[in-house]
Structure 1
């Protein structure tokens, strides 16, 4: 019997200058990544945003994805304003990256049905959410993920389930997101599916988690038989992502 099909993809949000450091880690471990960038992100100081030249540099080795122009939650905008944010963010990034964009990420994970339609209208074939704990993509315009490079306090029940009741493992999976990520990867290897790691470079830095991130990247990289792709490549072969 053949081994189950396993795909690994990663994505990184917001467009902070530390994305360049993160890209270096991905490159070291031969792991593709999609960087969702809001080129005029109002939550970042201008010196902390990736400049157009840096976006172009990043695009040489990784996929660039849309994240609106200024990282405003779409649910708080009128339909016209939401469309302008999605469209103008895409245009500005395509100018900087020098290539068309096909992947999008909803700012803060907030969206409604209207916004899904707008994203498709703008020409995106895939849109990532912040929904976690999945080894399938689901609907490609509302794509789920597996694990976030961040410790979530709501993950207690998940830790219990994945640890099969073992108290020491429960504590480890709850307090150490890297241990949780590696457990998810083991499950994906066993059952097949899509392992999707995502996060924010600025958050990794703020929490001193670079070593944790590198530990996970080393664990999931260069595994024989595993397919490593960008988010956009999932949309090119959706049958392999379900």
Structure 2
């Protein structure tokens, strides 16, 4: 086992959420949002945030980081120590990246947790946290299972290892993190990848996330990820919630998606005043919106506001 580090409270430099001194922000009211159509929708207004995350620790993550910096956006990079089929960042590159962005854990060896023993899974989850903290000197608070695969027992392992957030590969969500088994589960909105419609449907059906399916239908059922991102981002800015873009830098290279990525990041940067950019860890430490804290999620608020217009 890799030895765990002890960190003083002020060492987690990526933890604190952006300061928002306006009293209207503290109550969930956003003065920059478009006017609601009616009083019922106004009562369901959420604060809005933007976040991004990037998996696998490929050296091209530094190109993603440069684009995020260009548009003053935040990102969490989920980095394994090694992968079996692709290069990963050197120790020097990882330290350099950690100076500006949050680093999350992605197991030590990029293993599918569902394909290894309980002991191996537990070791991969816990030791990847220690490895990142030893490598960067910064507390590691978020974990992302490789290939998005995990079981209930792995959720408990992640919680016991000391993480606060588990980023999933659920798509088409605009929810704040959901608390489950002592851990905040972080869904995503759009992947920087040209998915077919059938793949998006499978993602929804596997999780029985039918609110996400309804959202996809309402936003045009497009398979063009930048167009889908623009539509969902506009909704988050207008109505509140979280817009979460994620991807793999090596896929951006292989599929020639860099120009499309930059167009989406540019748009996200333009909305940064209405929807502040935060890392995944910062997102987990934000106070829950008043409505969400009372038990009504963003999709539930959407359905109520739709009022039978399906």
Fold in common (TM above 0.5): yes
| Conservation of the 8 A alpha-carbon contact between 1:30 and 1:222 | no
Q: Report runs of 4+ in structure 1 exceeding 4 Å deviation.
A: 156-160
Of 229-238 and 117-126, the range deviating more from structure 2? 229-238
**Aligned counterpart for 1:206 among listed residues 234, 238, 254:** 254
**Aligned counterpart for 1:99 among listed residues 124, 127, 138:** 138
Aligned residue in 2 for 1:79: 118
1:29 deviates by 0.4
**1:138 to 2:178 alignment:** yes
TM-score by length of 2: 0.70
Aligned residue in 1 for 2:65: 23
**Judging changes above 3 Å, is the alpha-carbon distance between structure 1 residues 57 and 132 closer, same or farther for their aligned structure 2 residues?**
same
Aligned residue in 2 for 1:228: 277
| Conservation of the 8 A alpha-carbon contact between 1:71 and 1:107 | yes
**Aligned counterpart for 2:55 among listed residues 13, 18, 32:** 13
Aligned residue in 2 for 1:166: none
Aligned residue in 2 for 1:63: 102
Aligned mates of 2:288, 2:217 — CA distance in 1? 31
1:113 deviates by 0.7
The root-mean-square deviation of aligned C-alpha atoms, in Å, is 1.8
- For the pair shown, which has the larger CA radius of gyration, 1 or 2? 2
Of 114-123 and 230-239, the range deviating more from structure 2? 230-239
1:141 deviates by 3.5
Higher helix proportion (structure 1 or 2)? 1
| Conservation of the 8 A alpha-carbon contact between 2:184 and 2:284 | no
**Aligned counterpart for 2:164 among listed residues 121, 125, 133:** 125
Aligned residue in 1 for 2:149: 110
Aligned mates of 1:195, 1:181 — CA distance in 2? 9
Aligned residue in 2 for 1:162: 219
The SS at the match of 1:228 is coil
TM-score by length of 1: 0.89
Aligned mates of 2:151, 2:158 — CA distance in 1? 11
Aligned mates of 2:218, 2:270 — CA distance in 1? 28
Aligned residue in 1 for 2:195: 152
* Partner deviation per Cα, 1:83-134 (whole Å, 9 max, x = no partner): 1111221122112111110011011110011000000111100010100111
Unaligned runs of 5+ in 2: 1-28, 34-44, 202-212, 293-310
1:59 deviates by 0.2
The SS at the match of 2:178 is coil
Aligned residues: 230
Unaligned runs of 5+ in 1: 164-169
